[in-house]
């Protein structure tokens, strides 16, 4: 017999240790320096950050004048952002020309809005139907009489005095709240088998989508009064609300129609086979699935609406951006090299906070509802 057994008589040379697959250096090797091109892009990115970040940091924080600073500090050559100017004019940026002794009324509106709206966004909070009724039907009436006054001894406050963040939020909330159901109705109407309804919905959607929002607001501001009876006027804020709502509704209708077309025909037929009527099929079967498909598009329309509120200056309303512009032009006591820039940066940050909040909530809802469609 042949002995096939092998017994090594000498030691094997030691091999190098395996590469690390965890830790910061392993992550950097995999994501930043995996190839020569990755290394080149990483180096260029680091150089770009070293070029950009220090000046930005110095402007916003390092050389900035804090909220308790003075205008003399803001006028120094090395001064960065003048946050003292923002702190000094904050009331105008929030309330516009609203009388200062009456600021408690917008504050109550803000507090009530937060108290009713935040629970609506939290799925685990109970009493959603009661909460929705209070927010959609009771809150607008209470808010209007609180802000406008003229009842219960409240001082009348015409909408010409409303401004700043107050106007931006009013137009945004009203536009979002009304454009969503109107958009759904228009989308269903466009798919209707009734020729008159379908033609009207298509005509409205295509007409509104064919013109920019600024044209709609211009028409509401200049042309609409020409068709009104002599002596009859429509409030400027109401014109802006109607224009923004109708404009967003047309886009919302197309977003919802995209979701409706994504639903298989079998879902419609299944609902019909159960004996459900048209509205029952839409409410219980079709729309819940369709709206889930188009959450990103819906939120995208809401974000666009929020940013488009800055165009209401066309009808003479002073939203947040227009309030900042007005104060930049008139606050001569705060004039400095960086005052106007700081004002616009403040407005940009406010818009970013609200838009980013809507975006993150949309992602949260997608993850919560996207039970069988995640890819």
Give the model's pLDDT for residue 77: 87
For residues 347-358, average pLDDT: 94
pLDDT tens-digit readout, 204-219 = 999 998 988 888 888 8
Residues 6+ apart with CB under 8 A from 341: 81
User: How many C-beta atoms lie closer than 10 Å to residue 123's C-beta?
Assistant: 10
Q: What whole-number percentage of the chain has pLDDT above 90?
A: 46
Give the model's pLDDT for residue 224: 73
User: How many C-beta atoms lie closer than 10 Å to residue 247's C-beta?
Assistant: 25
Give the model's pLDDT for residue 250: 93
Alpha carbon distance 299, 358 (integer Å): 7
Residue 295 has pLDDT above 80, yes or no: yes
Give the model's pLDDT for residue 372: 52
pLDDT tens-digit readout, 54-74 = 999 999 999 999 999 898 999
How far is CA 125 from each of CA 111, 118, 190, 193, rounded to the nearest angstrom?
18, 10, 36, 40
Give the model's pLDDT for residue 153: 87
Long-range contacts formed by 196-202: CB under 8 A, 24+ apart: 201/253
* Cβ-contact 260, 290 below 8 angstroms: yes
The half-sphere exposure of 162 on its side-chain side, counting CA atoms within 13 A, is 25
Residue 350 has pLDDT above 70, yes or no: yes
For residues 297-304, average pLDDT: 91
Q: Classify residue 14 as left (phi > 0), alpha (psi -120 to 50) or beta.
A: beta
Mean of the per-residue pLDDT values of the chain: 88
How far is CA 351 from each of CA 112, 129, 344, 356, rounded to the nearest angstrom?
21, 30, 11, 8
pLDDT tens-digit readout, 81-105 = 999 999 999 999 999 999 999 999 9
Residue 369 has pLDDT above 60, yes or no: yes
* Cβ-contact 157, 102 below 8 angstroms: yes
pLDDT tens-digit readout, 158-179 = 988 898 999 999 999 999 999 9
Give me the phi and psi of 90, to 5 degrees please: -60, -40
106-120, 150-164, 216-230, 327-341: segment of lowest average pLDDT = 216-230
Sequence ranges of the domains in the chain: 160-316
| pTM of the entire predicted model | 0.85
Give me the phi and psi of 200, to 5 degrees please: -60, -45
Give the model's pLDDT for residue 114: 92
Give the model's pLDDT for residue 368: 84
For residues 221-229, average pLDDT: 74
**pLDDT tier for residue 358 given thresholds of 50, 70 and 90:** very high
CATH, domain 160-316, list 3.30.160.60, 1.10.3720.10, 3.40.50.2300, 3.40.640.10: 1.10.3720.10
5-19, 29-43, 59-73: segment of lowest average pLDDT = 5-19
pLDDT tens-digit readout, 243-282 = 899 999 999 999 999 999 988 888 888 888 988 888 899 9
Residue 330 has pLDDT above 60, yes or no: yes
**pLDDT tier for residue 37 given thresholds of 50, 70 and 90:** very high
Give the model's pLDDT for residue 85: 92
Residue 371 has pLDDT above 60, yes or no: no
């Amino acid at each position: 017999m042949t002995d096939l057994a092998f017994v090594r008589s000498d030691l094997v040379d030691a091999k190098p240790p395996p590469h690390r697959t965890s830790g910061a250096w392993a992550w950097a090797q995999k994501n930043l320096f995996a190839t020569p091109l990755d290394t080149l892009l990483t180096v260029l990115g680091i150089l770009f950050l070293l070029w950009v970040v220090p000046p930005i940091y110095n402007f916003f924080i390092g050389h900035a004048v804090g909220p308790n600073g003075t205008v003399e500090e803001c006028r120094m050559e090395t001064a960065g952002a003048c946050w003292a100017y923002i702190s000094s004019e904050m009331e105008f940026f929030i309330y516009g020309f609203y009388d200062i002794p009456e600021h408690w009324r917008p504050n109550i509106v803000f507090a009530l809005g937060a108290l009713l709206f935040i629970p609506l966004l939290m799925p685990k909070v109970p009493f959603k139907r009661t909460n929705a009724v209070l927010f959609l039907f009771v809150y607008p009436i209470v808010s209007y009489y609180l802000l406008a006054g003229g009842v219960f001894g409240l001082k009348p406050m015409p909408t010409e005095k409303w401004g700043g963040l107050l106007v931006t939020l009013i137009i945004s909330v009203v536009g979002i709240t009304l454009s969503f159901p109107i958009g759904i109705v228009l989308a269903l109407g466009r798919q209707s088998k009734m020729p008159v309804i379908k033609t009207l919905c298509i005509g409205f959607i295509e007409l509104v989508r064919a013109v920019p929002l600024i044209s709609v607001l211009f028409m509401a501001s200049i042309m609409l009064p020409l068709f009104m009876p002599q002596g009859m006027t429509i409030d400027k804020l109401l014109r802006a609300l109607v224009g923004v709502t109708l404009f967003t509704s047309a886009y919302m209708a197309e977003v919802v129609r995209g979701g409706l077309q994504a639903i298989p025909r079998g879902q419609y037929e299944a609902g019909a086979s159960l004996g459900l009527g048209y509205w029952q099929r839409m409410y219980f079967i079709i729309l819940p699935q369709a709206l889930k498909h188009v959450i990103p598009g819906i939120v995208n329309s809401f974000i666009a609406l929020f940013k488009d509120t800055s165009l209401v200056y066309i009808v003479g309303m002073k939203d947040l951006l227009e309030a900042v512009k007005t104060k930049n032009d008139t606050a001569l006591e705060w004039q400095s090299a960086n005052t106007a820039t700081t004002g616009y940066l403040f407005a940009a940050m406010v818009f970013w906070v609200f838009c980013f909040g809507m975006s993150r909530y949309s992602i949260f809802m997608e993850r919560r509802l996207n039970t069988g469609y995640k890819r």
